[in-house]
Amino acid sequence: MSLLSTLAPHLPFVRRYARALTGDQTTGDHYVRVALEALASGDRKLEAAFSPRVALYRVFHAIWHVTGAQLETPDGDATGPSTPRLRLMRIAPRSRQAFLLTAVEGFSPSEAAEILATDFSEVERLISEAQREIDAELATSVLIIEDEPVIAADIEALVRELGHRVTAVAATRSEARAAVARETPGLVLADIQLADGSSGIDAVKDILAQSDVPVIFITAFPERLLTGERPEPTFLITKPFQPETVKAAMGQALFFHPRGQERAA
């Protein structure tokens, strides 16, 4: 198989990564092109010990460091209205790389360690560091839609631990609607099956009809959301859940939602 055919499926994704990393498409594409030229000339090779995608990103990072590349500074006021791009640029460079590789590109921490030529524990530390920066910047108000008191209390504790404020805990669709009428949240954590037989899906539809807020579904019935119908479950966590999974999903949902910072408390 030729080098081009091996790498072709992965090129759009490494370009996406390079753009997010540098904050600029032209700059990102430049470093991807340099990496590809190094592969084509034989100056660099895809290491057989890794999958083609991991090997490509590894070459990209090797070129990045050899050329002394610097992360771009975002245009405009870095302290002004926030967007996902500006939020990315404010994360420390090494943590930004680990965060993007795992949260955006979908690599496991072990694969990210291979790409960054470091060890697993260091990648976990970098991801945690990025998560702390995200959590601190994106503190917001949260509506919890959950009918089981013990689970609701666990989720509320997680939310408060991350520095967010809970606007209400709703056990039914009507309670959720009433809570939103009082205050529009910056994030919604929703179960599907509620106390009175009403649907958390319908409750979320009610909310999204009024305001564009990020939603995370936490449910024992994920198949009810995997239908292709709206609201699309960008973030879906299956019960029983791990606290770290919920924390990571909240950080990512707020970070990548274009209006997340505008809703910060």
pLDDT of 169-184, one tens digit each? 999 999 999 999 999 9
**pLDDT surpassing 70 at residue 226:** no
Phi, psi of 242, deg, nearest 5? -95, 135
Nearest to 251 by CA among 88, 111, 124: 88
Q: How confident is the model at residue 234 (pLDDT cuts 50, 70, 90)?
A: low
Distance CA(14)–CA(10), nearest Å, equals 6
Annotation: CATH topology of 3-136:
Butyryl-CoA Dehydrogenase, subunit A; domain 3 (1.20.140)
User: Identical fold at 3-136 and 139-263?
Assistant: no
Q: Tokens at residue 39, please?
A: 């592969």
Q: What is the pLDDT of residue 52?
A: 94
pLDDT digits (tens, 9 = 90+) for 54-65: 999 999 998 887
pLDDT at 261 over 50: no
Report how far residue 265's alpha carbon sits from residue 261's, in angstroms, rounded to the nearest whole number.
9
Q: Are 44 and 38 in contact (CB under 8 A)?
A: yes
Beta-sheet strands, E only, within the chain: 141-145, 165-170, 187-190, 215-219, 235-238
pLDDT digits (tens, 9 = 90+) for 159-171: 999 889 999 999 9
What is the Cα–Cα distance from 69 to 30, expressed in whole angstroms?
11
Question: CB–CB of 35/63 below 8 Å?
Answer: yes
The residues spanned by each domain of the chain are 3-136, 139-263
Banded model confidence at residue 156, pLDDT cuts 50, 70, 90 = very high
- pLDDT tens for 99-129 read 889 988 989 999 999 999 999 999 999 998 8
Q: Which of 180, 196, 14 is nearest to 101 (CA)?
A: 14
Mean of pLDDT over the chain:
84
- DSSP element (H, E) containing 97: helix 93-99
Q: Specify the DSSP element, H or E, that contains 122.
A: helix 120-137
Inter-residue contact 221 to 238 (CB < 8 Å): no
- pLDDT number for residue 259: 56
List pLDDT tens digits, range 84-103: 666 666 777 888 899 889 98
Query: Which token pair is 172?
Result: 């039914």
pTM: 0.60
Between CA 251 and CA 87, with CA 160 as vertex, the angle to 5 degrees is 30
Measured between alpha carbons, how far is 165 from 44 in angstroms, rounded to an integer? 50
pLDDT at 72: 46
| Mean pLDDT along residues 7-31 | 86
Q: DSSP class of residue 101? A: I
CATH 3.40.50.2300 assigned to 139-263:
yes
| Residue scoring higher pLDDT (264 or 209) | 209
Q: How many CB atoms lie within 10 A of CB 177?
A: 15
